[in-house]
Structure 1
């Protein structure tokens, strides 16, 4: 059964059960509305009518709270109505879709990259949960970065997603980006300014809103690539959980680390001692749009 047919069927089952329960108690819809209002629930009479007829279904937090109250008022078992709603066709709170940094010139380069890759800007897929793991070599430089993400289509159907590597103010050759799971690399692009490199990650199968899938990719660096002592991840829409985990070689534990948080409004930085740790885990929930990064340094001048 398709997702849309499943939604339609569960909506019909819910509205039928609601009508039967109201009739069984001998209540009018107006009386039920009055009882809800007396208990502080402001759901409108029109909304109740839509639910009873099946023209709409309750989905938001306030609506589901109203259904829980209706179950009590109609002497139903807890969950007797809500269980009939099944899956939701909502994406949940999406928030604004914005370039994650206050860098207009860089955003223009990113737009160029999207156009060259044949991708719509801004991207309509969002990262629900992303774990980005960076390994630092014995010289203190980034050696390898691997990222796993649960992505969701927020509008229409998504068949591919652009993933970009940004080095603002530092032209570099293209890093080596490889697909590990969830799809394949369909196209590659490097901006003439050398600050934006990326790929078009073609999903194993198209993703229709609000469905999700898991993708995983890795970034390595070719010989002659400038040494990197910074890592991070950026999201253009709110991410439920973002983890940036930086793991240091035992011979390259830094003396200082600096956390940087960029967003469309500006930048904040926090410098701290690493305190003998061999890794730093930056965890944010409800993060974005923005970029979370970590840089490090050594007192011995390496």
Structure 2
């Protein structure tokens, strides 16, 4: 006796309802589920057909964080319809009229990493291989970062501790992005400490950018908190840096950063700097004292998306 399995039958009903009533992201998810196709597989099929799109962009569409509006994006959506064996224009019809564009767009979506860090082919390359949009599925409760420097003014360890709460079921990973401190810096080695293990890692040797998946040791349900820690160790020359900063596309309830200078090599001046999306340079927030033991601290509550960190001068 032949016929659809109960799971496939339910999937077909869900897809039919989603194509009829929308929204676009729900229909796309249902179509992918029916075809048992991952976003990575969809991206490969699109590229084989001559369409270039990042994994992050596809993930934004599927999660409802962004929607395709530009002519090239709409052509890709029509190609997706063919790959997923959907009626022609069935997904396009769910998009409706374009939304207002610009920094104050009505969708209120998070800024892109390029809005925070500036355009970089290296950044684009590392984000193309991992789904950084998974980070938007969390409420960011806390981030604590510590950087240690030696007497020769080089850094030898960075340790990060994060506290997040899942916004949706099945949350199981976070993408850690490492920003090079100086041009030509090689990407460091990432080591999980607790609450996670290492997944896919994308590094760009030319720019020093690195994006790495940290897979949690258990899957989170919506509303569940998780604490995880990891550290970076330099894989090449690490001297001459004059900054330590973290970027976030979402608000963070508490950011606590510490830089640990060697007491025999204290900076002449240390500052707290911050930068918001769309601005060209960080602004000076305040001068920071450095203790006799070599530690400087920053604590920011209810931090807005952007960069928070240190800048210092050696002489």
TMscore range, shorter length: 0.5 to 0.7
Whole-Å separation in 1 of the counterparts to 2:136 and 2:240: 30
1:140-289 matched pairs, under 5 angstroms: 140-167=153-180, 170-191=183-204, 193-225=206-238, 227-266=240-279, 267-270=282-285, 272=287, 274=289, 277=292, 278-289=294-305
| 8 Å contact from structure 1 (residues 255, 273) kept in 2 | no
- Alpha-carbon RMSD: 2.5
Q: CA deviation at 1:290?
A: 1.3
Distance 1:134 1:99 in 2: 26
What whole-Å deviation, never above 9, does each CA across 1:55-77 have from its counterpart, x for those lacking one?
A: xxxxxxxxxxxxxxxxxxxxxxx
After TM superposition, give the deviation of residue 235 of structure 1 in Å: 1.6
- 1:91-148 residue CA offsets vs partner (Å, 9 max, x unmatched): xxxx853236544414x75454233024446632342111111111111222211011
Is 1:133–1:145's contact at 8 Å kept on the other side of the alignment? yes
Q: Deviations over 1:179-233 (max 9, x none)?
A: 0000100121113642411211001011222211001000111233454232122
Structure 1 length-normalised TM: 0.60
Is the 1:256–1:271 contact (alpha carbons within 8 Å) kept by the matching residues of 2? no
Partner residue of 2:312 out of 282, 296, 299 = 296
Partner Cα distance (1:97, 1:183) in 2:
25
SS of the aligned residue for 1:123 comes to helix
Q: Distance in 2 between matches of 1:245 and 1:275?
A: 10
Q: Distance in 2 between matches of 1:284 and 1:271?
A: 12
**Pair 1:135-2:151 in alignment:** no
Contact 2:153 2:265 survives alignment (8 Å):
yes
Q: Name the SS of the counterpart of 1:167 in structure 2.
A: coil
CA contact (8 A) 1:123 1:161 kept: no
1:17-166 to 2 correspondences below 5 Å: 97-99=110-112, 101-106=115-120, 109-120=122-133, 123-166=136-179
Q: Distance in 1 between matches of 2:141 and 2:135?
A: 16
User: Is the 2:138–2:166 contact (alpha carbons within 8 Å) kept by the matching residues of 1?
Assistant: yes
Higher-strand-fraction structure: 1
Relative CO higher for 1 or 2, CA cutoff 8 Å, sep ≥ 6? 1
Structure 2, unaligned runs of 5 or more: 1-107
User: Cα distance 1:123–1:170, how it changes in 2: closer, same or farther (>3 A)?
Assistant: farther
- Residue 119 of structure 2 aligns to a residue whose secondary structure is helix
- Poorly superposed stretches of 4+, deviation over 6 Å: none
Give the 3-state SS of the residue equivalent to 2:183 in structure 1.
coil
